[in-house]
Amino acid sequence: MNAAVPMAEIWRGPFLESVHLGHAVICGADGEIVQAWGDPTVVVMPRSSSKMLQALPLIESGAADAHGLTTEQLALSCASHQGAAIHTDRVNAWLGNLGLSDSDFRCGPQEPSDRPTMEALIRAGEKPCQVHNNCSGKHAGFLTLTRHLKAGPDYVTPDHAVQKACLEAFESVTGESSPGFGIDGCSAPNFATTLHGMARAMAFFAAAEEGSGVRASAAARLAKAMRLHPELVAGEGRACTELMRAMEGRVALKTGAEAFFIAIIPEKKLGVALKVVDGGTRGAEAAITAILVQLGLLDAAHPAARKRLNAPIRNWNGIETGMIRPGAAFR
């Protein structure tokens, strides 16, 4: 097993104060590793970076087309949104079209990370609903598939038809049997795989074309929806949204909790997966930015890149005290 490598460094003046270690894999359309840092065989929980895989059955089953889902709804099915009105209004409309309500969700309520929305709830004396959960778009997709399959309401249980379909799709595109699952923050199973397996899945999405088979068509539609609607995949100020905009829709990006990140790169038919072992989001954002710059997809001078790579750190008095810079792995 190869050790994790330095992916991001935090400098305080002339001193190296902290280091984020991690693993990363770039995979080609043939499933083989193009480049790797650390250990490609490390078993990982991809968390929300696997939402595109969980959304495959939504399209493959015919549920998406039967319910007339738009590219916006497909993007939301892959999203970890911040509960802003641009997200919740669309998810609520989706629920209404299904004849369902917030109580049909199984993701649990969550305080929205969108500050204006949270402040509005406080002023109104209201509590967050399940639609504010960052995974509510994915769960609207689960509910759509549940309705299509005429399955029971508890769609997050591992033995439910929806989750069985998700596992089959997950194992198919990762090319590996999952060693098991953990329960995610939204209560759905999150299946484990190797980092190579996750990069292989992202390469499958990158190479997929509509009309080239049911699964490939579904993958192509999901990746395209994400690239068309970066504001729905995450939200204003978020790395996924800002970096996708910076690359003008050429790449689909998706973060996952505990410092996971993926990239789907159709023009190069490459998939990227990375994991920072300490769970630090800033480390994962710096690492994915460095990889995108290295691949020639992102201008290092773009404000969205500068925000996460070679970015100055300032104290509360506005004084520059240090910087975040790429680790030795990317220099």
Each residue of 48-84: pLDDT tens digit?
999 999 999 999 999 999 999 999 999 999 999 999 9
By the 8 A CB rule, do 293 and 300 touch?
Answer: yes
Widest Cα–Cα separation across the chain: 62
Residue 11 lies in a domain: no
Residue 160 lies in a domain: yes
d(CA 247, CA 326): 19
pLDDT tens sequence across 278-321: 999 999 999 999 999 999 999 999 999 999 998 999 999 999 99
What is the domain count for the chain?
A: 1
pLDDT tens sequence across 183-232: 999 999 999 999 999 999 999 999 999 999 999 999 999 999 999 999 99
Residue 90 lies in a domain: yes
Cα angle value 255/261/264 (rounded, 5°): 95
pTM value surpassing 0.85: yes
pLDDT tens sequence across 148-157: 999 999 999 9
- pLDDT band of 329, cuts 50, 70, 90: confident
β-pairing, 15-28 vs 311-314, is unpaired
Residue 198 lies in a domain: yes
Query: What percent of the chain is modeled with pLDDT above 70?
Result: 100
The residue type found at 24 is A
Mean pLDDT score across all residues of the chain: 97
Residue 297 lies in a domain: no
Residue 71 lies in a domain: yes
Which residue, among 262, 78, 60, has the nearest Cα to 165 in the 3D structure? 60
pLDDT given for residue 1 in this prediction: 62
pLDDT given for residue 331 in this prediction: 81
3-state helix, strand, coil in the chain (%, to 5): 45, 20, 35
Q: What size, in residues, is the chain?
A: 331
Residue 262 lies in a domain: no
> Does the structure show a pLDDT above 70 at 241?
yes
Range of the structural domain that residue 114 is part of? 46-234
Extract the runs of DSSP E, i.e. beta strands, from 117-225: 181-183, 189-191, 193-194
By the 8 A CB rule, do 173 and 219 touch?
Answer: yes
d(CA 85, CA 312): 32
Cα angle value 194/76/282 (rounded, 5°): 55
d(CA 49, CA 310): 25
